[in-house]
């Protein structure tokens, strides 16, 4: 407040000035929210009434902070941006990531523009800001919604301490194709799990009071179907049917709307010939009208102007017209709205009310954030010094990281290892890597700042343990860079002899292999998702001399590792776990933490299976009924997953028994109760994700063979039993039907429970309206 009061408000009506200086705190409780929303709407309407057309358009402009923002830029392009900031013709900035930078930019607007409307500052806060948590796909493997909310709240706390008030996340694109690099950024292949995780992340970012200085506006992305790009190639065309769109792609976005997400980002792809940025059916009809959502839509980087390359718009002015009419509110670095909207209004081709509507949506979020009360509320140097990369944050990161680890295989109980093991060989191109664990989309992480696996192991074992290390081979990729393609060298076999020699004399080999950080992420699509040839050769040579191998897989996508998975007695999926990676992995390897992660995505046997997912349709020929060739299969490989969705082992065992349903059927308004008793039959305490699936046996549209409908994470001591109960009601069995609406249909169903999507515990029931 004190920072803002000193600035001159002349030129703004006294009524609006008064509104700026007193904004009540935003609350999500129903009564307060209703009153606050009414107050905010009055303020937004009052402000819009005194804005010029240029100022309204300015709110729709998002610039990249691509110069030293502690002073005016020197180059021509950025000088133009700077002048537009001074004139109040910019609504938001991205990639300004310090208190000094954001404060200078905010001062530029507040001290020079007529109406002094504060800026939003956005940034890709994907899996942490400075303290880095597991990549989103990895964190989703925890199935721990409280942990995910906690990590997002810490990311928000750190980002806001650096001047950021708007996060470009969470990403909630459903993806079934591991070739797509951005699979690392989402929650996997299932719409139910992705919906739950999306809400958890939004709650972490936005908290229960968006006006607090340690919460920020979330941005659900990418709307929509971005993860269905043909061939898994980023930015590629999407061809998807209406029913698949509604039943698979849109549910996480609807969940985000219901959770009060402040903004959404449109996607790069086209859908059946219409670029998403210009798709009225998606943006205006479904999101804004049918779902009655009051936030704003921002384009992805330059995606409005890219409609020219799509062949959908003839120039930037045409692209601006298509996008604003379709419902896209803010132009991220496309330079289309500033180039074309004013001209379109003056020529009578565009109703100014569409621009007003878009500006209102953006202003509404600024009011909710409390920016009009204090534009500098996120510019606190003390917070920037004290609230970032703290010991407490790193401890939480370690806890979330170990919860995200999935034990894929553990034959003969090779794991957990004993801390007093006599000799241990730590081998592999990722064993002493301190950068790859940070992952792609790494925020403001310091390069090479992660705890390496080798460091984590050395800090865990007894002093008497002999640890030998060899890199073995290079990972097989070139310079690490977010903006350059990685050049893969698949023929470097140097160092294998040294690795084999130390493996011969070790009780156990820990082999760290997988992918470099920037092999996944945006624009990192690959046709080959196997290990590089040097890594495969390294594994084979070591396995020939020592079969006690623990494979530690570090990767940003599901990989095709059939050969390794068949031979290695133990395989641990560790993803890219972030700042505390090595410590978290060591916690699991040596039994300080019993692994509890479950896969949020299926692992293929071969890249040729992709796209691959558990909730498939049955087809008309699902089985080899007559012993002939004419059924749905591959002739050279199994068609199921190597490791299925929901799979994940523990150092203990869980037995499911007494699976019951309280009635054979139910009707509208009623429900069923399903219960199962889970017992820890092992000697260690552990956690189990109890998963409930349903199959709709027939419908107005063909239905998947199984769909996740609920899950519960439980803790059990040795020999302890818990009865887990689920409710099935009309909403549980709803889907987007042939009637083009969400509804439950009469029919017969099967309900399944278990520890993965492969469960075969089932009971029949029926529903009738």
List, for residues 453-494, the tens digit of each pLDDT value.
Answer: 999 999 999 999 999 999 999 886 655 566 666 665 567 788
Mean pLDDT of 208-226: 97
Same fold, 399-603 and 654-768: no
Mean pLDDT of 389-394: 98
Determine the pLDDT at residue 2.
43
Mean pLDDT of 265-294: 98
Residue 12 above 80 pLDDT? no
Give the residue numbers marked as catalytic: 300
Per-residue model confidence as pLDDT tens digits over 47-90? 999 999 999 999 999 999 866 655 566 565 788 888 999 999 99
Mean pLDDT of 373-391: 97
Residue 156 above 90 pLDDT? yes
Mean pLDDT of 743-749: 98
Specify the range with the lowest mean pLDDT, choosing from 317-326, 546-555, 628-637, 643-652.
628-637
Mean pLDDT of 22-35: 45
What's the CATH number of domain 399-603, 1.25.50.10, 1.10.3720.10, 1.10.8.420, 3.40.50.1700?
3.40.50.1700
pLDDT confidence bin for 30, thresholds 50/70/90: very low
pLDDT confidence bin for 174, thresholds 50/70/90: very high
Determine the pLDDT at residue 9.
41
The candidate with the shortest Cα–Cα distance to 498, out of 429, 437, 554, 433, is: 429
Per-residue model confidence as pLDDT tens digits over 107-139? 999 999 999 999 999 999 999 999 999 999 999
Determine the pLDDT at residue 319.
98
C-alpha distance across the termini of the chain, in Å: 57
Cβ-Cβ contacts under 8 Å for 582 (sequence gap 6 or more): 437, 450, 451, 452, 453, 454, 455, 456, 457
| C-alpha to C-alpha distances, 349 to 334, 341, 368, 603, nearest whole angstrom | 20, 9, 33, 51
Cβ-Cβ contacts under 8 Å for 203 (sequence gap 6 or more): 149, 152, 259
What is the Cα–Cα distance from 731 to 749, expressed in whole angstroms?
A: 14
Mean pLDDT of 341-345: 98
Per-chain mean pLDDT for the chain:
93
Mean pLDDT of 7-14: 41
Q: Report the percent of the chain where pLDDT is more than 90.
A: 89
Residue 517 above 90 pLDDT? yes
Mean pLDDT of 580-603: 98
What is the Cα–Cα distance from 258 to 510, expressed in whole angstroms?
A: 45
The candidate with the shortest Cα–Cα distance to 481, out of 435, 535, 514, is: 435
Contact between residue 625 and residue 575 where contact means Cβ atoms under 8 Å apart: no
Mean pLDDT of 691-695: 98
Residue 424 above 70 pLDDT? yes
Stated pTM of the model: 0.94
- The residue ranges of every structural domain in the chain are 399-603, 654-768
Task: Specify burial of residue 625 (Cβ count, 10 A radius: 0-12, 13-18, 19+).
Answer: exposed
Determine the pLDDT at residue 22.
36
Contact between residue 110 and residue 141 where contact means Cβ atoms under 8 Å apart: no
Contact between residue 124 and residue 169 where contact means Cβ atoms under 8 Å apart: yes
| C-alpha to C-alpha distances, 183 to 153, 222, 408, 487, nearest whole angstrom | 23, 12, 19, 21
> DSSP state, 2?
H
Fold of 654-768: Immunoglobulin-like (2.60.40)
pLDDT confidence bin for 14, thresholds 50/70/90: very low
């Amino acid at each position: 407040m004190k920072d803002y009061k000193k600035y001159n408000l002349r030129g703004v009506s006294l009524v609006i000035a008064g509104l700026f200086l007193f904004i009540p705190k935003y609350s999500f409780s129903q009564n307060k929210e209703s009153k606050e929303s009414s107050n905010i709407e009055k303020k937004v309407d009052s402000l819009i009434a005194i804005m010029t057309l240029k100022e309204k358009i300015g709110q729709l402009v998002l610039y990249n902070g691509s110069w030293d923002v502690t002073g005016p830029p020197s180059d021509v392009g950025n000088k133009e941006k700077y002048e537009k900031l001074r004139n109040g013709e910019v609504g938001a900035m991205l990639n300004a990531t310090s208190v000094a930078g954001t404060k200078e930019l905010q001062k530029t607007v507040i001290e020079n523009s007529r109406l002094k409307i504060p800026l939003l500052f956005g940034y890709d806060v994907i899996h942490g800001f400075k303290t880095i948590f597991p990549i989103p796909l990895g964190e989703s493997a925890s199935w721990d919604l409280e942990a995910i909310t906690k990590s997002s709240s810490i990311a928000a706390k750190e980002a806001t301490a650096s001047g950021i008030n708007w996060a470009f996340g969470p990403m909630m694109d459903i993806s079934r194709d591991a070739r797509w690099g951005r699979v690392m950024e989402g929650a996997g292949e299932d719409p139910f799990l992705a919906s739950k995780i999306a809400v958890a992340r939004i709650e972490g970012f936005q908290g229960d009071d968006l006006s607090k200085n340690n919460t920020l506006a979330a941005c659900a992305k990418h709307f929509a179907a971005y993860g269905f790009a043909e061939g898994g190639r980023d930015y590629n065309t999407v061809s998807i049917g209406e029913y698949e769109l509604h039943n698979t792609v849109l549910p996480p976005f609807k969940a985000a709307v219901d959770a009060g997400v402040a903004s959404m980002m449109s996607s790069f792809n086209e859908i059946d010939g219409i670029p998403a940025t210009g798709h009225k059916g998606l943006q205006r009809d479904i999101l804004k009208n049918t779902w009655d959502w009051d936030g704003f839509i921002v384009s992805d980087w330059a995606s409005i102007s890219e409609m020219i390359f799509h062949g959908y718009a003839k120039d930037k002015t045409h692209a601006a017209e298509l996008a604003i009419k379709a419902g896209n509110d803010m132009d991220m670095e496309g330079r289309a709205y500033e180039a074309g909207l004013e001209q379109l209004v003056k020529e009578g081709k565009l109703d100014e009310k569409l621009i007003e509507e878009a500006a209102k949506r953006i202003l509404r979020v600024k009011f909710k954030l409390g920016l009009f009360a204090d534009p500098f509320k996120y510019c606190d140097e003390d917070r920037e010094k004290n609230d970032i990369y703290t010991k407490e944050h790193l401890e939480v990161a370690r806890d979330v990281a170990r919860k995200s680890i999935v034990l894929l295989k553990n034959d003969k109980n090779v794991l957990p290892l004993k801390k007093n093991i006599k000799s241990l060989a730590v081998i592999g191109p990722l064993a002493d890597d301190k950068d790859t664990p940070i992952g792609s989309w790494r925020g403001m992480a310091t390069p090479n700042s992660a705890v390496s696996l080798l460091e984590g192991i050395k800090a865990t074992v007894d002093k008497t343990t002999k640890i030998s290390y060899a890199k073995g081979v290079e990972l097989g990729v070139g310079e690490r860079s977010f903006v350059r393609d990685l050049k893969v060298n698949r023929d470097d076999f140097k160092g294998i002899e040294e690795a084999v020699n130390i493996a011969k004399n070790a009780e156990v080999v820990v082999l760290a292999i997988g992918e470099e950080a920037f092999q996944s992420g945006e624009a990192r699509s690959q046709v080959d998702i196997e290990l590089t040839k040097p890594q495969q050769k390294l594994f084979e040579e070591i396995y020939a001399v020592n079969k006690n191998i623990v494979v530690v897989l570090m990767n940003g996508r599901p990989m095709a590792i059939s050969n390794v998975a068949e031979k290695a007695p133990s395989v641990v999926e560790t993803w890219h776990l972030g700042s505390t990676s090595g410590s978290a992995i060591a916690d699991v390897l040596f039994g300080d933490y019993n692994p509890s992660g479950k896969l949020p995505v299926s692992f293929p046997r071969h890249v040729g299976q992709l796209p691959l997912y558990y909730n498939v349709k049955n087809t008309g020929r699902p089985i080899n009924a007559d012993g002939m060739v004419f059924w749905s299969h591959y002739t050279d490989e199994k068609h199921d997953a190597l490791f299925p969705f929901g799979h994940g082992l523990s150092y203990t065992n869980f037995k499911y028994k007494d699976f019951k349903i309280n009635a054979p059927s139910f009707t509208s308004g009623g429900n069923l109760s399903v219960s199962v008793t889970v017992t820890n039959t092992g000697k260690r305490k552990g956690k189990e994700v109890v998963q409930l699936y349903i199959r709709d046996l027939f419908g107005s549209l063909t239905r998947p063979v199984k769909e996740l409908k609920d899950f519960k994470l439980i803790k059990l001591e040795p020999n302890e039993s818990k009865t887990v109960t689920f409710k099935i009601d009309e909403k549980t069995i709803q889907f987007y039907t042939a009637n083009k609406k969400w509804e439950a249909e009469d029919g017969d169903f099967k309900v399944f429970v278990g520890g993965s999507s492969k469960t075969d515990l089932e009971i029949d029931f029926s529903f009738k309206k």
